[in-house]
Amino acid sequence: MGFKMGIVGLPNVGKSTLFNALTRTAAAQAANFPFCTIEPNVGEVAVPDARLDKLAGIAGSRQIIPTRMTFVDIAGLVRGASKGEGLGNQFLANIREVDAIAHVLRCFEDGDVTHVEGRVDPVADADTIETELMLADIESIEKRLQGLVRKVRGGDKEAVQQERLLKQALEMLEEGRPARLVQVDAEDAKAWKMLQLLTTKPVLYVCNVAEEDAANGNAHSARVAQMAADQGNAHVIISARIEEEISQLEPEEAEMFLAEMGLEEAGLDRLIRAGYELLHLETYFTVGPKEARAWTIRTGTSAPKAAGVIHGDFERGFIRAETIAYDDFVACGGEQGAKEAGKMRAEGKGYVVKDGDVLHFLFNT
Protein backbone atom coordinates (compact mmCIF):
# COMPACT_ATOMS: atom_id res chain seq x y z
CA MET A 1 0.00 0.00 0.00
CA GLY A 2 1.31 3.39 -0.95
CA PHE A 3 -0.50 6.67 -0.81
CA LYS A 4 -1.42 9.46 -3.16
CA MET A 5 -0.23 12.99 -2.49
CA GLY A 6 -1.53 15.92 -4.49
CA ILE A 7 0.95 18.70 -5.28
CA VAL A 8 -0.99 21.97 -5.17
CA GLY A 9 -0.27 25.67 -5.12
CA LEU A 10 -0.80 28.91 -6.95
CA PRO A 11 0.56 29.13 -10.52
CA ASN A 12 4.32 29.56 -10.90
CA VAL A 13 5.37 28.46 -7.42
CA GLY A 14 7.39 25.49 -8.69
CA LYS A 15 4.84 22.66 -8.55
CA SER A 16 5.65 21.17 -11.93
CA THR A 17 9.39 21.59 -11.47
CA LEU A 18 9.11 19.66 -8.21
CA PHE A 19 6.92 17.02 -9.83
CA ASN A 20 9.42 16.57 -12.66
CA ALA A 21 12.18 16.06 -10.13
CA LEU A 22 10.20 13.67 -8.00
CA THR A 23 9.14 11.41 -10.83
CA ARG A 24 12.29 11.93 -12.89
CA THR A 25 10.21 12.71 -15.94
CA ALA A 26 9.35 15.75 -17.98
CA ALA A 27 5.68 14.78 -18.06
CA ALA A 28 4.57 17.98 -16.36
CA GLN A 29 5.27 21.01 -18.52
CA ALA A 30 7.01 23.70 -16.47
CA ALA A 31 6.40 27.08 -18.07
CA ASN A 32 6.23 30.68 -16.95
CA PHE A 33 2.49 31.17 -17.31
CA PRO A 34 -0.59 30.06 -15.33
CA PHE A 35 -2.37 26.78 -16.01
CA CYS A 36 0.48 25.12 -17.90
CA THR A 37 -0.58 21.92 -16.15
CA ILE A 38 -4.06 21.41 -17.56
CA GLU A 39 -4.56 17.74 -16.71
CA PRO A 40 -3.29 16.28 -13.45
CA ASN A 41 -0.05 14.44 -14.06
CA VAL A 42 0.37 11.26 -12.06
CA GLY A 43 3.74 9.73 -11.32
CA GLU A 44 4.94 6.93 -9.10
CA VAL A 45 8.30 7.04 -7.35
CA ALA A 46 10.16 4.44 -5.35
CA VAL A 47 10.34 5.23 -1.66
CA PRO A 48 14.05 5.33 -0.74
CA ASP A 49 14.87 3.20 2.30
CA ALA A 50 18.46 2.26 3.14
CA ARG A 51 17.18 -0.59 5.31
CA LEU A 52 15.88 -2.42 2.25
CA ASP A 53 19.30 -2.40 0.58
CA LYS A 54 20.90 -3.61 3.80
CA LEU A 55 18.44 -6.50 4.14
CA ALA A 56 18.91 -7.49 0.50
CA GLY A 57 22.68 -7.53 0.92
CA ILE A 58 22.47 -9.81 3.96
CA ALA A 59 19.99 -12.20 2.35
CA GLY A 60 21.65 -12.16 -1.08
CA SER A 61 18.33 -11.16 -2.67
CA ARG A 62 18.40 -11.17 -6.46
CA GLN A 63 15.84 -8.38 -6.71
CA ILE A 64 15.05 -5.30 -4.60
CA ILE A 65 11.49 -3.99 -4.75
CA PRO A 66 10.82 -0.77 -2.83
CA THR A 67 7.36 0.39 -1.88
CA ARG A 68 5.99 3.20 -4.04
CA MET A 69 4.37 6.56 -3.57
CA THR A 70 2.09 8.36 -6.02
CA PHE A 71 2.34 12.08 -6.70
CA VAL A 72 -0.35 14.01 -8.55
CA ASP A 73 0.60 17.39 -10.04
CA ILE A 74 -2.65 19.35 -9.95
CA ALA A 75 -3.43 22.43 -12.08
CA GLY A 76 -2.62 25.78 -10.44
CA LEU A 77 -5.37 27.41 -8.43
CA VAL A 78 -6.26 31.10 -8.30
CA ARG A 79 -8.51 33.22 -6.12
CA GLY A 80 -12.15 32.43 -6.97
CA ALA A 81 -11.54 28.75 -7.75
CA SER A 82 -14.42 27.72 -5.48
CA LYS A 83 -16.67 29.61 -7.92
CA GLY A 84 -15.06 28.04 -10.97
CA GLU A 85 -12.45 30.72 -11.71
CA GLY A 86 -9.40 29.57 -13.67
CA LEU A 87 -9.44 25.78 -13.60
CA GLY A 88 -11.12 25.78 -10.22
CA ASN A 89 -13.73 23.06 -10.66
CA GLN A 90 -11.18 20.63 -12.04
CA PHE A 91 -8.67 21.52 -9.30
CA LEU A 92 -11.21 20.83 -6.56
CA ALA A 93 -12.30 17.53 -8.09
CA ASN A 94 -8.68 16.33 -8.34
CA ILE A 95 -7.99 17.16 -4.69
CA ARG A 96 -10.88 14.95 -3.56
CA GLU A 97 -9.03 11.93 -4.98
CA VAL A 98 -5.77 12.32 -3.00
CA ASP A 99 -4.91 11.22 0.54
CA ALA A 100 -2.90 14.28 1.47
CA ILE A 101 -1.94 17.68 0.11
CA ALA A 102 1.63 18.85 -0.46
CA HIS A 103 1.08 22.60 -0.63
CA VAL A 104 3.99 24.15 -2.52
CA LEU A 105 4.67 27.73 -1.47
CA ARG A 106 6.93 30.15 -3.29
CA CYS A 107 9.68 31.19 -0.88
CA PHE A 108 12.11 32.59 -3.44
CA GLU A 109 12.57 35.97 -5.13
CA ASP A 110 12.94 35.95 -8.91
CA GLY A 111 11.90 38.84 -11.11
CA ASP A 112 11.91 36.57 -14.16
CA VAL A 113 9.18 34.32 -12.74
CA THR A 114 5.81 36.04 -12.59
CA HIS A 115 3.69 35.62 -9.46
CA VAL A 116 0.00 35.47 -10.29
CA GLU A 117 -0.76 38.12 -7.65
CA GLY A 118 2.38 40.20 -8.21
CA ARG A 119 4.12 39.57 -4.88
CA VAL A 120 6.02 36.94 -2.89
CA ASP A 121 4.09 36.13 0.28
CA PRO A 122 3.86 32.39 1.02
CA VAL A 123 1.61 32.81 4.05
CA ALA A 124 -0.89 34.82 1.98
CA ASP A 125 -0.66 32.17 -0.78
CA ALA A 126 -1.44 29.44 1.75
CA ASP A 127 -4.40 31.45 3.00
CA THR A 128 -5.71 31.92 -0.56
CA ILE A 129 -5.84 28.19 -1.23
CA GLU A 130 -7.16 27.28 2.23
CA THR A 131 -9.92 29.87 1.82
CA GLU A 132 -10.93 28.50 -1.58
CA LEU A 133 -11.06 24.96 -0.20
CA MET A 134 -13.15 26.09 2.75
CA LEU A 135 -15.58 27.97 0.50
CA ALA A 136 -15.90 24.88 -1.72
CA ASP A 137 -16.62 22.73 1.36
CA ILE A 138 -19.24 25.15 2.63
CA GLU A 139 -21.04 25.09 -0.72
CA SER A 140 -20.84 21.29 -0.87
CA ILE A 141 -22.14 20.87 2.70
CA GLU A 142 -25.08 23.21 2.19
CA LYS A 143 -26.17 21.26 -0.90
CA ARG A 144 -25.79 17.91 0.86
CA LEU A 145 -27.75 19.05 3.91
CA GLN A 146 -30.63 20.02 1.63
CA GLY A 147 -30.53 16.56 0.06
CA LEU A 148 -30.66 14.83 3.45
CA VAL A 149 -33.81 16.55 4.77
CA ARG A 150 -36.27 13.88 3.64
CA LYS A 151 -34.17 10.94 4.86
CA VAL A 152 -33.58 12.61 8.24
CA ARG A 153 -37.30 13.16 8.68
CA GLY A 154 -37.81 9.50 7.89
CA GLY A 155 -35.44 8.51 10.68
CA ASP A 156 -32.69 7.09 8.47
CA LYS A 157 -29.79 6.48 10.90
CA GLU A 158 -27.03 7.03 8.37
CA ALA A 159 -28.63 10.27 7.19
CA VAL A 160 -28.98 11.49 10.78
CA GLN A 161 -25.31 10.76 11.39
CA GLN A 162 -24.27 12.49 8.16
CA GLU A 163 -26.35 15.54 8.99
CA ARG A 164 -24.79 15.83 12.45
CA LEU A 165 -21.25 15.54 11.09
CA LEU A 166 -21.88 17.95 8.22
CA LYS A 167 -23.28 20.52 10.64
CA GLN A 168 -20.20 20.15 12.85
CA ALA A 169 -17.99 20.73 9.81
CA LEU A 170 -20.08 23.69 8.64
CA GLU A 171 -19.85 25.34 12.06
CA MET A 172 -16.05 25.04 12.00
CA LEU A 173 -15.80 26.34 8.43
CA GLU A 174 -18.05 29.32 9.13
CA GLU A 175 -15.61 30.27 11.89
CA GLY A 176 -12.94 30.44 9.19
CA ARG A 177 -11.20 27.22 10.22
CA PRO A 178 -10.71 24.02 8.17
CA ALA A 179 -12.85 20.94 8.83
CA ARG A 180 -9.77 18.89 9.84
CA LEU A 181 -9.93 20.66 13.21
CA VAL A 182 -13.28 19.03 14.08
CA GLN A 183 -12.88 16.49 16.91
CA VAL A 184 -14.44 13.25 15.62
CA ASP A 185 -15.34 10.31 17.86
CA ALA A 186 -14.08 6.83 16.95
CA GLU A 187 -17.58 5.60 16.07
CA ASP A 188 -17.95 8.47 13.60
CA ALA A 189 -14.51 8.11 12.00
CA LYS A 190 -15.61 6.01 9.01
CA ALA A 191 -18.63 8.18 8.22
CA TRP A 192 -16.51 11.31 8.60
CA LYS A 193 -13.97 10.03 6.09
CA MET A 194 -16.77 9.18 3.64
CA LEU A 195 -17.80 12.86 3.57
CA GLN A 196 -14.60 13.55 1.55
CA LEU A 197 -14.39 17.19 2.55
CA LEU A 198 -11.46 19.02 0.99
CA THR A 199 -10.31 20.67 4.21
CA THR A 200 -10.07 17.36 6.08
CA LYS A 201 -7.07 16.38 3.96
CA PRO A 202 -3.80 16.49 5.91
CA VAL A 203 -1.51 19.28 4.71
CA LEU A 204 2.26 19.37 4.29
CA TYR A 205 3.71 22.77 3.41
CA VAL A 206 6.59 22.58 0.93
CA CYS A 207 8.75 25.70 1.03
CA ASN A 208 10.32 26.09 -2.41
CA VAL A 209 13.46 28.15 -1.86
CA ALA A 210 16.35 29.34 -4.03
CA GLU A 211 19.37 27.05 -4.32
CA GLU A 212 21.44 29.09 -1.86
CA ASP A 213 18.71 28.74 0.80
CA ALA A 214 18.21 24.99 0.43
CA ALA A 215 20.19 24.05 3.55
CA ASN A 216 18.81 26.55 6.06
CA GLY A 217 15.80 28.25 4.48
CA ASN A 218 15.16 31.99 4.56
CA ALA A 219 12.83 34.59 6.06
CA HIS A 220 9.92 33.42 3.88
CA SER A 221 10.29 29.76 4.91
CA ALA A 222 10.64 30.81 8.56
CA ARG A 223 7.20 32.46 8.35
CA VAL A 224 5.77 29.26 6.84
CA ALA A 225 7.37 27.20 9.61
CA GLN A 226 5.67 29.37 12.23
CA MET A 227 2.33 29.16 10.41
CA ALA A 228 2.61 25.37 10.17
CA ALA A 229 3.46 25.08 13.87
CA ASP A 230 0.47 27.26 14.81
CA GLN A 231 -1.80 25.02 12.73
CA GLY A 232 -0.30 21.73 13.88
CA ASN A 233 0.82 21.00 10.30
CA ALA A 234 4.24 19.96 8.99
CA HIS A 235 6.60 21.72 6.60
CA VAL A 236 9.73 20.87 4.61
CA ILE A 237 12.27 23.11 2.89
CA ILE A 238 13.15 22.12 -0.68
CA SER A 239 14.75 23.77 -3.68
CA ALA A 240 12.82 22.40 -6.65
CA ARG A 241 15.64 23.56 -8.93
CA ILE A 242 18.19 21.48 -6.98
CA GLU A 243 15.89 18.46 -6.92
CA GLU A 244 15.47 18.73 -10.69
CA GLU A 245 19.26 18.79 -11.15
CA ILE A 246 19.78 15.85 -8.78
CA SER A 247 17.18 13.79 -10.63
CA GLN A 248 19.35 13.88 -13.75
CA LEU A 249 22.52 12.67 -11.99
CA GLU A 250 23.91 9.24 -11.23
CA PRO A 251 23.72 8.31 -7.49
CA GLU A 252 27.43 8.96 -6.83
CA GLU A 253 27.29 12.32 -8.60
CA ALA A 254 24.11 13.22 -6.72
CA GLU A 255 25.81 12.55 -3.37
CA MET A 256 28.72 14.80 -4.30
CA PHE A 257 26.36 17.52 -5.50
CA LEU A 258 24.36 17.38 -2.24
CA ALA A 259 27.56 17.59 -0.19
CA GLU A 260 28.67 20.67 -2.15
CA MET A 261 25.30 22.29 -1.40
CA GLY A 262 25.61 21.49 2.31
CA LEU A 263 22.70 19.03 2.20
CA GLU A 264 22.70 15.65 3.95
CA GLU A 265 19.95 14.13 1.81
CA ALA A 266 17.75 14.87 -1.19
CA GLY A 267 14.56 16.82 -0.67
CA LEU A 268 12.60 13.82 -1.98
CA ASP A 269 13.67 11.80 1.04
CA ARG A 270 12.54 14.53 3.44
CA LEU A 271 9.27 14.98 1.58
CA ILE A 272 8.42 11.27 1.66
CA ARG A 273 9.37 10.92 5.32
CA ALA A 274 7.20 13.91 6.21
CA GLY A 275 4.39 12.43 4.11
CA TYR A 276 4.66 9.12 5.92
CA GLU A 277 4.43 10.86 9.28
CA LEU A 278 1.53 12.96 8.04
CA LEU A 279 -0.51 9.89 7.12
CA HIS A 280 0.77 7.69 9.95
CA LEU A 281 2.39 5.19 7.60
CA GLU A 282 5.21 2.73 8.22
CA THR A 283 7.10 -0.01 6.41
CA TYR A 284 7.61 -3.73 6.90
CA PHE A 285 9.77 -6.07 4.83
CA THR A 286 9.70 -9.53 3.28
CA VAL A 287 13.17 -10.90 2.56
CA GLY A 288 14.49 -13.98 0.78
CA PRO A 289 16.97 -15.11 -1.89
CA LYS A 290 14.52 -14.23 -4.67
CA GLU A 291 13.65 -10.71 -3.54
CA ALA A 292 13.74 -8.17 -0.73
CA ARG A 293 10.57 -6.11 -0.72
CA ALA A 294 9.14 -3.18 1.25
CA TRP A 295 5.43 -2.86 2.03
CA THR A 296 3.59 0.19 3.34
CA ILE A 297 0.95 -0.05 6.05
CA ARG A 298 -0.75 2.36 8.39
CA THR A 299 0.57 2.59 11.94
CA GLY A 300 -1.37 0.21 14.19
CA THR A 301 -2.05 -2.39 11.48
CA SER A 302 -2.57 -5.95 12.70
CA ALA A 303 -0.55 -8.85 11.28
CA PRO A 304 -3.48 -10.27 9.25
CA LYS A 305 -4.21 -6.85 7.73
CA ALA A 306 -0.52 -6.40 6.93
CA ALA A 307 -0.55 -9.81 5.22
CA GLY A 308 -3.56 -8.68 3.21
CA VAL A 309 -1.47 -5.92 1.64
CA ILE A 310 0.44 -8.67 -0.17
CA HIS A 311 -2.63 -10.72 -1.10
CA GLY A 312 -6.18 -11.06 0.21
CA ASP A 313 -5.70 -14.82 0.62
CA PHE A 314 -2.90 -14.16 3.11
CA GLU A 315 -5.30 -12.23 5.32
CA ARG A 316 -8.24 -14.62 4.96
CA GLY A 317 -6.16 -17.74 5.72
CA PHE A 318 -3.77 -16.10 8.21
CA ILE A 319 -2.23 -18.53 10.74
CA ARG A 320 0.74 -16.62 12.15
CA ALA A 321 3.58 -14.27 11.27
CA GLU A 322 7.21 -15.22 11.81
CA THR A 323 8.67 -11.90 12.91
CA ILE A 324 12.20 -10.52 13.21
CA ALA A 325 12.91 -6.91 14.13
CA TYR A 326 15.09 -5.12 11.57
CA ASP A 327 17.92 -4.49 14.04
CA ASP A 328 17.93 -8.14 15.09
CA PHE A 329 17.97 -9.35 11.46
CA VAL A 330 21.02 -7.18 10.78
CA ALA A 331 22.83 -7.95 14.03
CA CYS A 332 22.32 -11.70 13.60
CA GLY A 333 23.38 -11.74 9.96
CA GLY A 334 20.01 -12.80 8.57
CA GLU A 335 17.08 -15.11 9.21
CA GLN A 336 19.02 -18.21 10.26
CA GLY A 337 21.17 -16.29 12.69
CA ALA A 338 18.09 -14.61 14.15
CA LYS A 339 16.43 -18.02 14.62
CA GLU A 340 19.50 -19.44 16.39
CA ALA A 341 19.69 -16.39 18.65
CA GLY A 342 16.03 -16.72 19.59
CA LYS A 343 15.16 -13.43 17.90
CA MET A 344 12.47 -14.84 15.60
CA ARG A 345 8.99 -14.70 17.15
CA ALA A 346 5.74 -16.39 16.15
CA GLU A 347 3.00 -13.73 16.33
CA GLY A 348 -0.74 -14.33 16.05
CA LYS A 349 -3.73 -12.38 14.79
CA GLY A 350 -3.55 -9.80 17.56
CA TYR A 351 0.02 -8.71 16.80
CA VAL A 352 0.44 -5.09 15.71
CA VAL A 353 3.17 -4.82 13.09
CA LYS A 354 6.03 -2.45 13.91
CA ASP A 355 8.00 -0.29 11.52
CA GLY A 356 10.96 -2.27 10.16
CA ASP A 357 9.62 -5.73 10.99
CA VAL A 358 10.86 -8.51 8.71
CA LEU A 359 7.88 -10.83 8.28
CA HIS A 360 7.09 -14.27 6.87
CA PHE A 361 3.41 -15.17 6.81
CA LEU A 362 1.95 -18.64 7.20
CA PHE A 363 -1.61 -19.08 5.94
CA ASN A 364 -4.19 -21.64 4.88
CA THR A 365 -5.21 -21.69 1.22
Residue 311 has a pLDDT of 93
- Which residues of the chain, if any, have pLDDT below 70? 1-2, 24-40, 76-91, 111-118
| CATH class name, domain 4-278 | alpha beta
Burial state string for 134-153 with b = 16 or more CB within 10 A and e = fewer than 16: bbbbbebbeeeeeebeeebe
Residue 113 has a pLDDT of 62
What pairing do the DSSP bridges indicate for beta strands 281-287 and 291-298? antiparallel
Q: Do domains 4-278 and 300-363 have the same CATH topology?
A: no
Close Cβ partners of 207 (under 8 Å, ≥ 6 residues apart): 105, 107, 122, 217, 220, 221, 224, 225, 235, 236, 237, 238
Binding residues: 12-17
What is the distance between the alpha carbons of residues 277 and 270, in angstroms, rounded to a whole number?
11
Residue 183 has a pLDDT of 93
Binding residues for ATP: 12-17
H or E element, residue 150:
helix 122-153
**pLDDT tens sequence across 239-293:** 998 988 888 888 788 889 888 888 888 888 888 888 888 888 999 999 999 999 9
The CATH architecture one would assign to domain 300-363 is Roll (3.10)
Residue 231 has a pLDDT of 87
Residue 277 has a pLDDT of 85
Domain boundaries, the chain: 4-278, 300-363
